[in-house]
Homo-oligomer: A and B are copies of this chain.
Amino acid sequence: MNPVEPTEPLEDEATLQLDANGNLCHLLTLKGIGKSLLTDILDDAENYLTRPGELPARSQTLAGRTVANLFFEASTRTRASFDLAGRRLGADVLNLDVNTSSRKKGESILDTIYTLEAMQVDAMVVRDASAGVPAYIARHVLPHVSILNAGESDVSHPTQGLLDVLTIRQHKADFANMAVAIVGDIRHSRVAMSTSQALLTLGVGEIRLISPPVLAPVDGKIPGGLVFDNLKEGLRDADVVMALRIQRERIGNIDGIPGIDEYFANFGVSRESMKFARPDAIVMHPGPMNRGIEIEGVLADGPQSVITQQVTNGVAVRMAVLDRIGKTMAARQ
C-alpha cells in the first residue's frame, strides 16, 4: 500500500461513516456512533435472533446486492459470521482469498478495491493487519459503496464491540452501575478498544483493564479505563469479566510473561479467580480461546459463560449493520 499523502486534513473516520442525514453508510469505528444509533442497532439485532433449532431469521434487504469478504488476515469465525449474515439477508457473498492471489502479484489494495467496485460489489468487509486501512479504503470508494471494518490491526473491531454490548445488555440492564473487567493482552487488543468504546457510549459505570504491566494499554488508548496489574483486585465485584486471547508467541518471549502456567496463575480467568467477581457475573471471550492459558476450559463451558451467545449475537449484529447499510443504499436510489 502506498497511501497518497493528504494535502489537507482528512475527514475523520467517525464522520465519514455517516451520510449527511446521519444514516450509516460505512462501519469503520464505534467512535462517533452515538447512544441512540448504537441502541437502534442492538434493537435491530435482537430481531434477528431466533431460538436454537429454529430457522435463523432471514430477509431480502440485500437481494441483488453483492458483499465481498476481503480478509487480508486469516479468519474463520468472523469471515463465516459476515458470510452468513450477508446470505441470510439475500446478498451474493464473494469470499476472496486475498493472501494467495492479488497481493502475491503485487497489486495495491486500492486497485483490488477499484476492481471489486467495478464488478458492482456494493459492500466490502475488510480485515487488515495495518491500522487505517478501512478508513483509507472508505475515502477512496465511490459514494454508493460501503466499507465494513472486520478487524483492524490492534485498534478497532467495531462489530465485536457491538456484539459484546448486546450480549451484556441481554444479562445486565444497568450499564451505569456496571463494572466490566477486561483481562489479558490489552495493549494489542482491538477488541478491548471497540468494546470499551461501546461501553462508554452506553454510559458504563467502570471499565477495568487488567494485564501484566508489559501488556497494559499505552497511555490514553482507552479513555476512562482503570488499569490494574493484579487480577484479584481488578475482578473485585465485577459484573462482567471478559478474557482476551493472548498470542502464544508472546509467552516466554516478553519480559514479565515467563510461561503459560505462570500466566494462567496470575491472569487466567478461572473458577478460582471468578470468586472475586460478583456471584452473578458473566464470563465472555471473543474467541478463539486458548483454554488453560487466558481462560479455564471448565469455566468457559459453565453456567456463567455467555461465550457461544456472543457468537450468535455476532451474526445478528452483522445482519443489523448490513441491513441498515442496505437501507441507506436503497434510499439513495
A-side residues, CB < 8 A to B, are 50, 52-56, 58, 64-66, 68, 74-77, 80-81, 83-84, 87-88, 92, 94, 96-98, 100-102, 104-108, 111-112, 114-120, 142-144, 248, 287-291, 308-312, 314-315, 329, 332-333
Which of B81, B143, B333 is A54 in contact with, Cβ under 8 Å? B333
Assuming the A-B contacts A53-B142, A108-B291, A312-B118, are A84 and B66 also in contact, with contact meaning beta carbons closer than 8 angstroms in the complex? yes
Contact A101 B81 (CB under 8 A): no
Assuming the A-B contacts A119-B84, A289-B107, A308-B115, are A64 and B74 also in contact, with contact meaning beta carbons closer than 8 angstroms in the complex? no
Which of B65, B92, B102, B329 is A288 in contact with, Cβ under 8 Å? B102
Find chain B residues with CB under 8 A from A287 CB. Answer: 107, 111, 115
Q: Which 7 A-B pairs have the closest CB atoms?
A: A53-B144, A118-B311, A107-B288, A76-B101, A118-B308, A56-B120, A55-B64
Contact A52 B144 (CB under 8 A): yes
User: Please, how many angstroms separate the alpha-carbon atoms of A83 and B115 in the complex?
Assistant: 14
Find chain B residues with CB under 8 A from A102 CB. Answer: 76-77, 288
The contact sample of 10 A-B pairs, CB cut-off 8 A, is A53-B144, A56-B66, A68-B80, A74-B104, A76-B101, A76-B112, A80-B115, A88-B92, A111-B287, A118-B312
What is the minimal beta-carbon distance from A179 to any residue of chain B, in angstroms? 26
User: Please, how many angstroms separate the alpha-carbon atoms of A314 and B115 in the complex?
Assistant: 10
Contact B58 A119 (CB under 8 A): no
User: Please, how many angstroms separate the alpha-carbon atoms of A65 and B56 in the complex?
Assistant: 8
User: Please, how many angstroms separate the alpha-carbon atoms of A96 and B52 in the complex?
Assistant: 22
User: Please, how many angstroms separate the alpha-carbon atoms of A96 and B287 in the complex?
Assistant: 17
Contact A77 B312 (CB under 8 A): no
User: Please, how many angstroms separate the alpha-carbon atoms of A88 and B308 in the complex?
Assistant: 30
Which of B54, B74, B120, B310 is A315 in contact with, Cβ under 8 Å? B120
Find chain B residues with CB under 8 A from A315 CB. Answer: 119-120
| Residue from A88, A111, A112 whose CB has the most chain B CB atoms within 10 Å | A111
Which of B77, B112, B120 is A50 in contact with, Cβ under 8 Å? B120
What is the minimal beta-carbon distance from A283 to any residue of chain B, in angstroms? 14
User: Please, how many angstroms separate the alpha-carbon atoms of A327 and B76 in the complex?
Assistant: 29
What is the minimal beta-carbon distance from A126 to any residue of chain B, in angstroms? 15
When C-beta atoms are compared, the residue in chain B nearest to A77 turns out to be: B115
What is the minimal beta-carbon distance from A20 to any residue of chain B, in angstroms? 16
What is the minimal beta-carbon distance from A301 to any residue of chain B, in angstroms? 9
| Residue from A96, A119, A332 whose CB has the most chain B CB atoms within 10 Å | A119
What is the minimal beta-carbon distance from A245 to any residue of chain B, in angstroms? 8
Find chain B residues with CB under 8 A from A106 CB. Answer: 248, 288, 290
User: Please, how many angstroms separate the alpha-carbon atoms of A13 and B45 in the complex?
Assistant: 38
Find chain B residues with CB under 8 A from A76 CB. Answer: 96-98, 101-102, 112, 115
Find chain B residues with CB under 8 A from A50 CB. Answer: 120
